[in-house]
Amino acid sequence: MKWFEIGLVVLTFATGLVWLLDSLFFAKRRAARGGLLDEEPVVVDYSRAFFPVLAAVLVLRSFVAEPYKIPSSSMMPNLLIGDFILVNKFSYGLRLPVNNRKVVALGEPARGDVVVFKPPHDPEQNWIKRVIGLPGDHIAFRGDTLFVNGEEVRYTPIGQYVGKGRGAEMNGATLLTEHLPGRDHRVLEWIGRAAPAGQGEWTVPEGHYFVMGDNRDNSEDSRFWTQTSFLPEENLRGKAFLIWLNCEGWFCTGSFDPGRIGTSIK
């Protein structure tokens, strides 16, 4: 993804520069000379044709919305393998492409937001999790229960999860509604398993967030990051807000669920 972003920036500026230099200098010389041998060079023709398209794509991906594909089951049951999602790029401020530096501050994540980010221990990738802890929060995970600032989070059991396709790996897990302060959402847990992983307590430092996957027993999230348990604010890419396609494999040969198209991400 990073190399695509770099390539897009380079091509946009290269085609724009060729078009600009030709408009300012070389086009006038050709017009003054006239004649069949002074036709517009092919590189200028292509630059003029592609620059507006590349510039529009760059602006949309960098400052408006960017598409991502869900590669793992860590956000089940809300996001499934094969979901294609859109990420709002201006919810948490406008950031430059490639280096992700914030240039305009517009907002901060709220507890419960589903965010795309670059994990601090692997900044070449883009991951997606849910914001559980805000700066200054004390987060604890004991047994199968989440605690926020000393308060036990309530859960409402829904029943056993039944998935399809690659999501069937979680069949039999308990589907619950987690009443996170300010946001209700569904989670999956293997209730009653001996010594569940990810136990501990954390205090979120300023400028950082504590993130977890909704598939609590199958998510590499803040609970397991050994170098730092927290997501730096500068690693945020945006807020996930819409599923625009669910499809696996070439030409959707693996699975295709039209019912998920247009689903908002909560």
Q: What residues act catalytically?
A: 74, 129
CB 165 within 8 A of CB 255: yes
Sequence length of the chain is 266
Q: Identify the helix (H) or strand (E) that includes residue 8.
A: helix 2-21
Phi, psi of 230 (to 5 degrees): -125, 150
Spatial distance between the Cα atoms of 189 and 215, rounded to a whole number of angstroms = 7
Phi, psi of 221 (to 5 degrees): -125, -160
The CA-atom distances, in angstroms, between 2 and each of 100, 124, 257 are 11, 7, 29
Q: How many CB atoms lie within 10 A of CB 89?
A: 21
Burial class, 104, CB count within 10 angstroms (exposed 0-12 / middle 13-18 / buried 19+):
exposed
> Which pairing describes strands 263-264 and 138-142: parallel, antiparallel, or unpaired?
unpaired
Q: Identify the helix (H) or strand (E) that includes residue 59.
A: helix 42-59
Q: How many CB atoms lie within 10 A of CB 20?
A: 12
Spatial distance between the Cα atoms of 62 and 238, rounded to a whole number of angstroms = 10
